[in-house]
Amino acid sequence: MNMRTPMSRVRGLGSAKDGTTHFWRQRITAIANLPLVILFLILVITMVGASHGQVAALLGSPMVAILVLFGIASVTTHMWLGMQVVIEDYIHGEGAKILLLISNGFFCAFVGLSAAFALLKISFGG
C-alpha cells in the first residue's frame, strides 16, 4: 500500500521534502563548470611565465574577473553539494553526520569567499 498522496508523487518529493532540487543543482553546476574550468585552464596556461603585473592586468579585466568569479561560485557550490551527498551516504552516526555537514558548509564558504576576495583584491589593484 502506498501512503504517499497523489500530489507528492507528482512533485517527486521524498521524506526530506527536497526532491530533485539537489540533483538538478549538482547537474547544473557540473554543466556550468565545464566551460568555466576550461576557461580557467586556458588562462593559467597562457599566463605561464608571465610577470605578476601581466597576471594582475589580465585578472583586472572586468570580463575575465566576472567569468572567474562565476567559476569560483560554481565550483565551490558543486563541491559543497557533492560532499554533502558523500557525507549523507557514508557517515552513519547522526552526530558525526551533522558535524560534518556543518563543517562542509563552512569549509566550502571559506574556500569560495577566500578565492573571491583574492581575485577582487587583484582585480581592483589592491
**Mind listing the pLDDT tens digit for each residue in 19-48?**
688 899 999 999 999 999 999 999 999 999
4 within some domain? no
Mean pLDDT for the chain overall:
90
Q: Compute the residue count for the chain.
A: 126
Whether 38 maps to a domain, the answer reads: yes
pLDDT of residue 125: 81
The answer to whether position 7 is within a domain reads no
CATH (domain of 105)? 1.20.1300.10
Q: Enter the DSSP assignment of 20.
A: T
Domain count, the chain: 1
Cell numbers for 31: 554543466
Q: Specify if 5 maps to a domain.
A: no
Residue 49 lies in a domain: yes
Residue 104 in domain = yes
User: What is the rounded average pLDDT of the residues 63-91?
Assistant: 96
* Count of other CB atoms within 10 angstroms of residue 100: 19
Domain of residue 102 covers 20-123
Place of cell 568569479: 69
